[in-house]
Amino acid sequence: MDQIAIFASGTGSNAKAIIQYFDEHESIKVNCLLSNKPSAKALDMAASFGIHTKLISRAELENPMLLIDFLKERGISLIVLAGYLKKIPADMVKAFPNAIINIHPALLPDFGGKGMYGMHVHQAVVEAGVGKSGMTIHYVNEVYDDGGIIFQASVDLEETDQAADVAKKVLTLEHRHYPKVIEQLLLERSK
């Protein structure tokens, strides 16, 4: 069984789509959901599905080895970031080579990097007047939004679309693709 750990800081709508998709999957299991934010809705959502949840402590944020031990003890083979807003420490990247992935709500390399999260991304897309946006699933390395791209999907934008409209369109794409890309990645790896 491949065991997934999801990291989320916010609502957790992607986390929910992933948890639902892998419910009763024969070879992939969502093992736990971790958050750095006590108020993250993702924590309650995951608990309501019977998923083990964990609030990452300050000590764990400062000393990634503690978190790495926790994840290794639970047999985690893939860390899935879904709206997780803290930087992943270099030690964790080293401990999970090619086994940490993230979703970004735009077509990287455009509209990525520091400060490009949440509505800031969609606002920048609207201001740039581009005809489409989309989502990118990529490996995580030590630099924000910089790891190798695994999958991208795009959506057409209307001239009248505001940031909230773009956000809605992109989120629909994310929910459709993120679970399937995770599944494909893990099935490919276990071949």
What residue ranges bind ligand GRF (CB under 6 A)? Answer: 8, 10-15, 82-83, 103-105, 171, 174
Nearer to ligand GRF, 52 or 86 (CB): 86
Nearer to ligand GRF, 66 or 85 (CB): 85
Q: What is the DSSP letter of 113?
A: S
Is 104 part of the annotated catalytic residue set? yes
| Residue in 104, 122, 138, 177 annotated catalytic | 104
Q: Which residues contact 80 (CB under 8 A, 6 or more apart)?
A: 4, 5, 6, 7, 18, 101, 178, 182
Q: In the complex, what is the shortest distance from the CB of residue 65 to ligand GRF, in angstroms, rounded to a whole number?
A: 25
Nearer to ligand GRF, 11 or 123 (CB): 11
Q: In the complex, what is the shortest distance from the CB of residue 57 to ligand GRF, in angstroms, rounded to a whole number?
A: 21
**Closest residue by beta carbon to ligand GRF:** 83
Spatial strand order in the sheet of 132-139? 52-55, 28-35, 2-7, 76-81, 100-104, 132-139, 149-156
Q: In the complex, what is the shortest distance from the CB of residue 158 to ligand GRF, in angstroms, rounded to a whole number?
A: 19
- Which of 14, 11, 60, 9 has its CA nearest to residue 36? 9
Q: In the complex, what is the shortest distance from the CB of residue 82 to ligand GRF, in angstroms, rounded to a whole number?
A: 5
Phi, psi (rounded to 5 degrees) for 35: -140, 150
List the end-to-end C-alpha distance of the chain, in Å, as a whole number: 13
By annotation, the residues acting in catalysis are 104
